[in-house]
Every structure is written in C-alpha cells, then in structure tokens.
Structure 1
C-alpha cells in the first residue's frame, strides 16, 4: 500500500504537467485555426508574425514546466548575441533536446522563431505534427529518401515572407543512447567507411539537411550556433555513461543541471560545397566529442561535469511564463465547464488529428 502510494505520488510529478500541456493543445489549435482563417485576406508576412506570437504563448507555458517547475539550472558557456537569423545545430540525446532550443531562444527573445527539422514519422503526432509543419517545420527522411525539393521550397517560402529564422537541426539524425549500442557501432562503422575520425560520445553527423539549409539560406542567415549539451547526472558510479533523461524523467526533477556550450560561427566562414561542408561538420562534432569526453571522463574531479571556461546561469523571469500558463489553462478550463465547450474540445482532438494526418500525408 505504501509503495503504491509512493509510486502514484511520483507519477503525479510528470502527469500533471503533461496533462496541462497536452490538454491545452486543442485550445491552442483552435486559436491558431481562427487566425489562419482570418489571415487569408492578409499578407503572408502578417500571418507569420502573429503565428510566431501565438507560438511564444504556448512554448512559454512549456518552459514554465521544464524550467521553473523542475527547478533545473541552465549553465551557459559562451555568450549569446542579439536576436538574429540562425541555424542551430546540436548533439541529440533525448526528447528534452527540443526544449533546450526553446531555453536558448527565449534568452534572445526569439522563442517564436524556433522551427525544427524533424524525423518524418513525427508528422503523425496528434495535433502537434500538423501544426509544426504549418509553423515552418520541415519533416525529412534519411538517406536516399531525403526530399531535398520539399525542404528547399519550405525554406524559400519562409524567406519570401521575411520570417525570422531560428532553424533547429540535429545532424546525427537519431539519438545517442548508450543502451542501444548497435546504433553507436553502426555510426562508428559509417565514419570508418567514409574515412572520418570515429567519435565516442556523439554519432557521426549526416550532412544533407545542414548543407541544404546553408545552401538555400546563405544570404539570409547571420550565423550557425554550434551547441553542445550535457545533462548532469548521466554517469553511473562506475563511470559509465547512461541514457539522458526522457521528458517524463526530466519533469520528475531527475536532472539538476544542464550544461550548454555555445559557439557562434558566421555563415561567411562556413564552406558551401557539400564535400567540404561534410568535413567541416564532422570537425564540429569532433570538437563536441572532446568537450563531452572532458565533461564525463576528466581525471581531475574538479573538471568533471562542466565544460571549459566560466559558465553562467541562464535566468528566466516568471513573468515570461506564468501569464501564458494562466491564459491557456484558464481558457481550456472554461471550455470544459460547458457542454458546448466540451464538444468543441473533443471534436478538435478527433478531427484536428484526422485532418492533420491527412494533410501531411497528401503534402508528402
């Protein structure tokens, strides 16, 4: 009985935030849908500006839970410049990596401009999959199935509307997970086949999406942000690296601190030809590998669990997250208090999901 109560209490630590975030999704989609219908008579640029503003509201609520609720400490190594059009490349370990991009963007007042290059299968996520595409996200497949034309058209439409860009790419293509050694060994075998140095704490990056983004937007982007993320507490007592926290584990406050190393590279300093860009990108991941090796394996305990240089805490005011939380949960609760509101809410879940899946399938 006692054990059952403890497990139940533990589960509530992530179930309540998850319920509020997921439960607000239909409310958000309805608000966005109304604006999308109204904006058909307005210029595309105006639609995207308001869409970015709406996106800030929802993602601010997400940051309330992932940053304020969890109490996680964000340690930044390197300075973030003023808001600019950027390509964000990072190592990929878990689903929380998506939120890290938000945590970085909010520091630059660019939260609404975050757009992701995502695995193709994620487009079928209920409500979210369709909306991410509408917000400017790009779904891609790996290897020969990669649709370069689709991604290029999507990026060009964003530039045509003069949309501010915070494009997030995880070049590894899949997560680094010590519990799935085959993925790591396959990645290392691919590096050897290509004559590239073998990496230990990251996977061999794939170049197609990064190359296409830089090639298409080279006159639009200001810089590439090379981001290296390490989750504190992912080393076992025996010194073995373990899996990074899932979203549920993170919301259960199992990660006390996140370390983020930032390296800003001007687009002018990046090679454009794919062969040279492949080498450049691999060198960036070699640097990540060195940083993570030092982070996890430093012989001096004082240098372990931190990146070189002086880190500073990224602070986020409650004023930037609580109003969004109150607005979305308040409107959602109001809908659920009436019979008509409940019908609209449920139909949004059902038909929004079905229409969204149909839409992304046809677009593919």
Structure 2
C-alpha cells in the first residue's frame, strides 16, 4: 500500500474514532442532565400528590404510573436515538395488555432491561402498571429511588438469603401489587447474567441428568412459585381461574397469563447499559420473541412447576440456537413461516416527554428557590 494511502486511511480512522468519542461524550452529558431533572421532578410530583394518595389512592397510582412510563420512555429514547431498535416475533401481547401477566425473560446483560423498557412502550398501560423483580444492587443506582416509590421488588441472590427473600417477596406482593393496581410483573428466573451462571448451571444439569444448555441457564423456581401462589385466584375446585390464549377477551380476576419472553442479539453479542448510554456500537436490531400461556395450563407448585419452567428454558435454547443459525426465530406450531413486527416509537412523543422533564425541572427549581428565599 502506498504511503500516502496508508496515511489517509489512518487519518480517516482517527477522525471516525474522534466522532464516536465526541458523540458518546455529548450523549453522556445529556443523559446526566436528563437524570438530574427527570428523577428529582418525579419525586417532587409524587410528594406534591400525597394528599391525593390519601383521598383517592387509585387515581394517585394511575398518575404515578404515567410518570413512571414516561421515565422508562426516556431510557428507551437513549437506545432509539442510537439506532438500537427491536423486532418482535411470536404472539402479539398487546391483546392481553389489560390483563394480569408475568413475563419470564432470559437474562444476558444489563441492556435486557433497557430493551424491555423500549419494546413495552407501545403495549398500552402495561409499563405504567408494571412491577419489576430485580437484583438488589439496582436499588443503589440513580433509578433506585424511582423503583422504590413505584413498588418494584429488589431481591438478594444466594442460598443464605433465599428463604427470607421469598417470604419478603410474598409480603411485598400482598401489600403493593393490587393496592397499586399493578398488572404485569417482569421476572428473570435465571437469577443472573448468562455469562456468570452458565458454568454453574451446566454442572447442575449434569449432576441432575438435565439437558445441557449453552444459550440460557436453568431457571430458579422459587420466585415464580411465590408469584403464582400469591396472585393466582383459584376456583372452588382449587383449579386456577385463568383466561384462554385463543380468546384474549376472556376476563377473570387474578393472574391470567404467563408471557414467555426470549431476547436475542445478533451474533449473540448482548448490549450492556454502557453501550445503550454512549451509543458507540453501530445500529443494532434486538429480537424479542413472545409466547403466551393461559394460567390454567401452568402447574402452580412443586416438581410439576419446576418441570414446566425447565421446559420453557429448554425451548428458549432451541429458539436461540435457531436464531443464531438463521437470523430469525422459527415459525410457531401450525405456521409455515415466522412473521416479525418492527417495534416503533414516535420521535415526537419522545421529544415531548424529554421537554416535559426539563420544563418540570426548571419549574421545581424555581419553586424551591422561591421557598428558600421566603424562609431565609
């Protein structure tokens, strides 16, 4: 290669790297400012609405849920603006967005949470009425105060904490789920990231004569069992009162659906929260597959529940193996070809909620500054 061409190539690469770094820095600064105004504003609104919480709790939690959805929409906008989009496969979960459901999701990286925050934005009020079960470490992040107010549950991992955490989860559901009109719960049954748990899971599978999995790990049953035993309404004969997946309009009280959710990244390269914030990876399409199970078809306890849950993750293994080989999920039973749907967000709406956050921050700052001057 001629020397001039080599130097030109090096200059171009340096320019490209400089653009990536500058763009990442600007995105980081914007998101810091966004957090500094949006989260305190949310807290201020919640405090100002406390009288409404005493007089009309359902309306208070409805308004809180709307603000919660907007905050999650802001997180979604960070990925959307970097070209990180979502393609959806399988059943259309919008049809059951008004019913109670549990999402069982495979877990690969911190970006999984951001992906769900994005792809659930167009599922009616599901995000506003959603409860997350997440690792306790998230309590100490910038978003922790929001999750605490909203009523998400932080769970500690490890054998020494397991029994107590399950008791705390049951109590949390009894105190916060229906009193706040929650509808959906997001659960990562694997209990950690794939890369951290794969070796341990494979050793457990070998010891217990279970399938050898590489794209997912064997799920933990405890939290799922607590959710089902606490939230499923039973009929007089003891069977669950649930809906029928073939008739989404059917209504019954209590938990009605399990949404088996599988997240797949091209080339099995997950997106982490740092990439989501800084946007240094090229535009990427994340693929999310849904399968709906009516609660009447789900065992509620014991070994039968464990076997059912294991089977779901064995199926996830097959789904992901097919995706990594072909770039698409396989067609559902009875289908000749799998159909995907591109998930879209309104850029106008994203700009509006970001603008509302900054205007709210300015308003609350002015109010607090005025109060300070009046007092001192």
Which residue pairs with 2:359 in the alignment? 330
SS at match of 1:213: helix
TM-score (norm 2): 0.78
Over alpha carbons, which structure has the higher Rg?
2
Over 3 Å counting, the alpha-carbon distance change for 1:73 and 1:54 in structure 2 is closer
Question: CA-to-partner distance for each residue in 1:49-93, whole Å, 9 max, x for gaps?
Answer: 2211221222222222222x1233321112222422110111111
1:282 aligns with 2:310: yes
Question: CA-to-partner distance for each residue in 1:221-262, whole Å, 9 max, x for gaps?
Answer: 120110001122xx3xxxxx44x1212213415342011111
Give yes or no for contact 1:60–1:320 (8 Å, CA) kept in 2: no
Deviation of the 1:205 alpha carbon: 0.8
Indicate which of 181, 185, 189 corresponds to 1:171. 189
Over 3 Å counting, the alpha-carbon distance change for 1:224 and 1:320 in structure 2 is farther
Which residue pairs with 1:306 in the alignment? 328
Indicate which of 293, 297, 321 corresponds to 2:321. 293
CA distance in 1, matches of 2:207, 2:28: 45
1:28 aligns with 2:42: yes
Unaligned stretches of 5+ in structure 2? 1-10, 234-253, 331-337
Over 3 Å counting, the alpha-carbon distance change for 1:196 and 1:60 in structure 2 is same
TM-score (norm 1): 0.80
Deviation of the 1:10 alpha carbon: 4.0
| Pairs aligned (count) | 323
Which residue pairs with 1:86 in the alignment? 101
Which residue pairs with 2:238 in the alignment? none
Give yes or no for contact 1:75–1:311 (8 Å, CA) kept in 2: yes
SS at match of 2:194: coil
Question: CA-to-partner distance for each residue in 1:85-117, whole Å, 9 max, x for gaps?
Answer: 110111111112112222333222122012210
Matches within 5 A, 1:1-364: 5-6=18-19, 8-12=21-25, 14-23=27-36, 24-35=38-49, 37-67=50-80, 69-78=81-90, 79-80=92-93, 81-83=95-97, 84-109=99-124, 110-126=126-142, 128-142=143-157, 143-146=159-162, 147-161=165-179, 163-177=181-195, 183-219=197-233, 220-232=254-266, 235=267, 241-242=268-269, 244-251=270-277, 252=279, 253-296=281-324, 298=325, 304-308=326-330, 309-333=338-362, 340=369
CA distance in 1, matches of 2:141, 2:259: 28
CA distance in 2, matches of 1:268, 1:144: 33
Over 3 Å counting, the alpha-carbon distance change for 1:267 and 1:187 in structure 2 is same
SS at match of 2:321: helix
Deviation of the 1:42 alpha carbon: 2.0
Question: CA-to-partner distance for each residue in 1:156-183, whole Å, 9 max, x for gaps?
Answer: 2234426132110001111113xx5xx3
Over 3 Å counting, the alpha-carbon distance change for 1:31 and 1:335 in structure 2 is closer
Over 3 Å counting, the alpha-carbon distance change for 1:54 and 1:194 in structure 2 is same
Over 3 Å counting, the alpha-carbon distance change for 1:203 and 1:29 in structure 2 is same
Which residue pairs with 2:334 in the alignment? none
